Amino acid sequence: MKDLEKILNKEQLSAVKQTEGPLLVLAGAGSGKTRVLTYRIAYLIENCGVAPWHILAITFTNKAAEEMRKRVDELLCAGGAAVWVSTFHSMCVRILRRRIEAIGYGPDFSIYDAEDQRTVMRQLFKELQIDPKSFRERAVLSAISAAKNAGISAEDFQKEQGSDLRGKRIADCYTAYEKRLRRNNALDFDDLLLKTVELFRKDPEILSFYQERFRYILVDEYQDTNDIQFELVHLLAERNRNICVVGDDDQSIYRFRGANLENILSFEKTWPDARVVKLEQNYRSTKPILDTANAVISHNKGRKEKKLWTEKKEGKEVSFTEYESASEEALAVLREVESCGRAYRDQAVLYRTNAQSRLFEEQCIRRNIPYQIVGGVNFYQRREIKDILAYMKLIANEEDDVAFERIINVPRRGIGAASLEKLRRCAEKEGLSLSEASAQAEEIGISGKALKALRGFREMLQGWRRALKEAGLLDEAASPGREGSYSLRLLIESIRDDSGYAAELRAEGEVEAQTRLENIEEIISKAVSFQEEAEEVKLSAFLEEVSLISDLDRSDKEQDSLTLMTLHGAKGLEFPKVYLVGMSDGLFPGFLSINEPEELEEERRLCYVGITRAEEELVMSSARSRMINGEFQRLLPSRFIREMPDLLVKKELLYRSDPESRWEGDSEIRSGSVDLSATPFMGTVWGRRGEERGGSALQKALKKASGSLPSGPGIPPLMKRGSEIQKAEKLDYRVGDRVSHVKFGDGIVKAIEDGKRDYTVTVLFDKAGQKKMLAAFAKLKKIH
């Protein structure tokens, strides 16, 4: 490639040309990291003579993968088509489809999504006689996911529980869950990575093949990798050591999903001969916006030093306004959206939690402002789409019991719970799938309408399989045919019409039923475009693609509508004007983060991400009072606002009393005498990094699974300005008693002090150490 010096800045050029050995590219927000990655791929092929099939580029979203693939093709005139550009999950699916038989699965395995997983767990709760009031299905699955992402097998998980009865019960669920998935020849999303690592560890020849295949590896968004992804990359790269990771530790915001910041912070320890390139020149935002972002993130200690700068010297001043109420905040923001002169598509309202969208939605509707919520209900999670896909999954994989149970009586065929239970017992006894067991329906006592319906159901599925096989659309077929006698479109139309699904919807006569039929039309359109564009036209490939699609991929930038979205959802996006709302302590950062240094730094990184989404204008706001859990709470402006120098940010307070105290903060909170982390609100699955990878995250997931942590946000009543905290009327524990706390676990009471407003209790917890807290909020329970 020629004239790279004219296209790339000095640091970008250095990142492109350092092709051999480990390289860490610290790419600040808006610094052109995608350009570096694509030019690096092109440089390897054109200037270094590397064959395209020896290059692996891993991204985190399908959208990013498609963009990178497109840019590489443009640079090389389609000469880079053989480069593997994919997400972690897509890469693993490709490898497993070819090699998974080495670890005992069939290549036609199903991929279970969250709803499929919950269906399995509900069945296991019944079989294991687990009370769903004591253990939550979703939270048990979160604990299992935490274990998998930490690389902990069901067997090892069981061993680690010791005398912990709750942990043992969850371990039982984990073991049974893994057995059920194996019996169904199915994997969940975490398994896609875990089983690939297992495959590489079990079969060195397969690992060697892929190490030889992928001689140059590039990983985007490396700060978001979890432990199993770290292990996967390390296994693939350890032979040739040509590993280039690109990321920004200041934008690591997915700790709750298991992302491990240490992966990027310790890159030079993992690869001692690594070189580091910093991309600090920003091409997106104005100087006032970048100066504000730099001021906030500089308060974090766990980061690599860097400072964004831009050649854009001019720019509108950043502003912050505190309103009297959350309603006034929403109204003011939407008025500015209307009056500022920008197209709606060029503006975005960003908030910390999904629940904050309601007031802004209401104002949009009242003011007739078109809007879209990115991060709402995923198209592929809608009931009718799940039903159609379940039919397709069962056609592709006859052993998929979850798909079978979902649609055996959808639409209603007269196959009741009793008949289904007979099938389950037969399947369990004979070691069959439910679909196979249905062939023995008459022998196991199913008769009448149910028997007739089961036979018709089996014949229908077999007919679809035959048609797909003849058209080359099943994996076992000899060859695919785009112009074959059958197609994925015809399959979906047949499922919709021949199964009676559409007729049942039309019979309802409701507007919602018509919307559901329109959604089925949309999945048909998806199938048509897939069959026209896909490299491999197979039913399994189609199911893989729709399984891996994310909400973010569906954001419609062409429509002139205002975007409402969470800060997490906004990562990777940019808008000319951004409204960062709800900037109040207790909301952003959340109360449970305030006294947890690592969690507070994560919240600060999230704030940094929000700020750097803005290209030209950044408007921030908060509300002095907000209704939470049915009560109005008074809140202080976010400490992140207080970290922004007045010289950088214009701050305005729109209410009538005591403005000075708003900036100083309540003395109790400011002095740290109140342990806000002791309040039982706003829990998340992932916690602080433990001594070993995944340790504390697993413990938090275990606590949540067993009902220890409530879900949902909340603000302690302590924050009501001027109100009196009522003393705990009667403490049922004394000094020396053993007590239990929802967050810190078990401990012994060391001291009780009778304060003016409440008792202050000092407890030495077994695992969390010594804590001092107010009795009214600690809600300690004596262990008898």
Classify strands 23-27 and 275-279 as parallel, antiparallel or unpaired: parallel
Annotation says 699 is catalytic: no
User: How many CA within 13 A on the CB side of residue 339?
Assistant: 6
Residues 6+ apart with CB under 8 A from 436: 398, 399, 427
Residue in the block written with tokens 């580091």: 276
Residue 327's SS3 state is: helix
Instruction: Read off the tokens for 468.
Output: 């797909």
Q: Considering 178, 190, 221, 346, which one is annotated as catalytic?
A: 221
Q: Considering 188, 190, 220, 475, which one is annotated as catalytic?
A: 220
Looking at residue 687, its amino acid is G
Annotation says 123 is catalytic: no
Q: Hey, how many other C-beta atoms are within 10 angstroms of the C-beta on 466? A: 12
DSSP letter assigned to residue 558:
S
Is-contact 498 395, C-beta < 8 A? no
Instruction: Read off the tokens for 73.
Output: 């093709």
Distance CA 31, CA 290 (A): 12
Distance CA 449, CA 29 (A): 63
Annotation says 772 is catalytic: no
Residues 6+ apart with CB under 8 A from 448: none
Distance CA 60, CA 40 (A): 18
Is-contact 666 639, C-beta < 8 A? no
Q: Annotate 391-445 with DSSP letters as a single string.
A: HHHHHH-TT-HHHHHHHTTSS--S--HHHHHHHHHHHHHHT--HHHHGGGTTTTT
Residues 6+ apart with CB under 8 A from 739: 733, 746, 747, 748, 749, 763, 780, 781, 782, 783
Helices (H), 79-225: 88-99, 114-127, 137-149, 154-160, 165-183, 189-202, 204-213
Annotation says 137 is catalytic: no
Cis preceding-peptide flag for 132 (omega within 30 of 0): no
Q: Considering 11, 33, 496, 616, which one is annotated as catalytic?
A: 33
Residues 6+ apart with CB under 8 A from 648: 288, 291, 292, 295, 318
Annotation says 34 is catalytic: yes
Q: Phi first, then psi: what are they for 21, rounded to 5°?
A: 85, 175
Distance CA 155, CA 141 (A): 16
Q: Considering 34, 119, 123, 440, which one is annotated as catalytic?
A: 34
Q: Considering 12, 59, 225, 251, which one is annotated as catalytic?
A: 251
Annotation says 766 is catalytic: no
Is-contact 685 704, C-beta < 8 A? yes
Q: Considering 613, 624, 626, 704, which one is annotated as catalytic?
A: 613
Distance CA 27, CA 277 (A): 8
SS3 of 278-291: EECECCCCCHHHHH
Residues 6+ apart with CB under 8 A from 324: 623, 624, 625, 654, 655
**Distance from the Cα of residue 293 to its chain's centroid:** 24
For residue 319, what is the enclosing H or E element? strand 318-325
Active-site positions read: 33-34, 220-221, 251, 613
